[in-house]
Amino acid sequence: MGMVHKITPDLLRGVALGLLGAFVLAIMSYHLTVFIFRKRFPVPPKGGAIVITGASTGIGNHAAQHLARQGYIVYCTVRKPADVEAIQALGLPNLRPIIMDVAQAKSIENGAETILAELSKNNIPLIGLVNNAGVAQKFPLEFHPLTDLRSMFDIHVIGPLELTQRLLPAIRANKGRIVNLSSITALVLLPTGAAYGASKLAVEGISDGLRRELVDFDCSVSIVQPAYVNTAIFKKVTQSIDTKVEVSPEIMTTYGYFFRTEKRIKDRAAVDKASPPSVTTDAITHALTSPYPHTRYIVANVSGIPAFWLGWLVWLCPDRLADFIMGKFS
C-alpha cells in the first residue's frame, strides 16, 4: 500500500509557499523573456502630430495636455462644440480640438481629411494615433439592449479601425506609433460587464494583428489595459447601475444579486480607490516615445489590488477557480 499523507497546517503552508514561489518565478521569467525579445523602434521627433480620440475629459484629455506640454502637436477629437471651447480655454497652442464622432463613418472621414490636410499644408509628420474614445455599459447579457451593444462595438472597434485605416499611410510613412485603449476587463470579465469586455477583447485582437502586420515597417502598436482610473466614465457606470435598477424590474427579478445595495456600495468603494489618470498618461507616453515600447501596459487597480497582479492571478487559475475569484469582486 502507498503512503497516505495527513493534511496538516504545516503541509498546507508548504503548499501555499510552493505555489507562491511558482507564481513569483513565473512573473520573473515573463519579465526576463520580455527583456530578451524586446524590439527597438525609431523614436518619433517632438514637434510631430498625435491624434487622440475621446479627449474631452478623462484619460484622453489628461494624456493630450501632457503630450502638448512635451512639445507634440495633439489633435483632440471631441463630439461637442462646448468641448472644443473648453480645450481652447486651456491656452495650450499645441492642443488642437476637432469635432469627430467615432461612431459615425462620415464624421471620421471628415475629421481625418481635415487633420491630414492641415499636416500636409504645414509639413508636420503624423507620428501617433491613440484610440481612446469609449463608453461603459453594465447589463447581464440576457438583458443587454442590442442597439446599445452595436453602438458600443462601433465606438470601441469599428470606428477606431476605420480611423486607423485612414491615418495609417501617414503613420507608416513616418514610422509612427498606434496606441489602443483596451481594459483589464479583457482579461478579467466580471458579471454584467461581459459585453464591454468582449468589445475590448476585439480591440486586443485587432491590435495584435496590426502589430504583426506593421512590424516590418518599424511601426509600433501597443495596448493599454487600465483597471479603475479616476475619470467620469467609472462614475457613470455606478450611476447607470442605479438607473437600470429603478427602471428595469425584470432585471432585478432575475439578476438582482448583481444589483443589490451592498454591490453598489462596493462599486462606489472601488471607484474611490481608483488610480489617478497619470498612470494611463505615463503608459501612453511611453508607448508613443520610448525606443522600446511595450506591447501591453496593465495599469491602475481594482479595489486596491494592482491590475497587473490580478490579471496574472486570473490567467494562471483554472476557469472554475477564476469564476470563484471573480464572484468575490461582483
30, 72, 75, 196: which one is catalytic? 196
Backbone angles phi, psi at 158, to 5 degrees: -65, -50
Active site residue 257: no
CA distance 104 to 254: 35
C-alpha grid cell, residue 153:
462595438
Spatial separation of the C-alpha atoms in residues 90 and 326, rounded to whole Å: 41
Active-site positions read 196
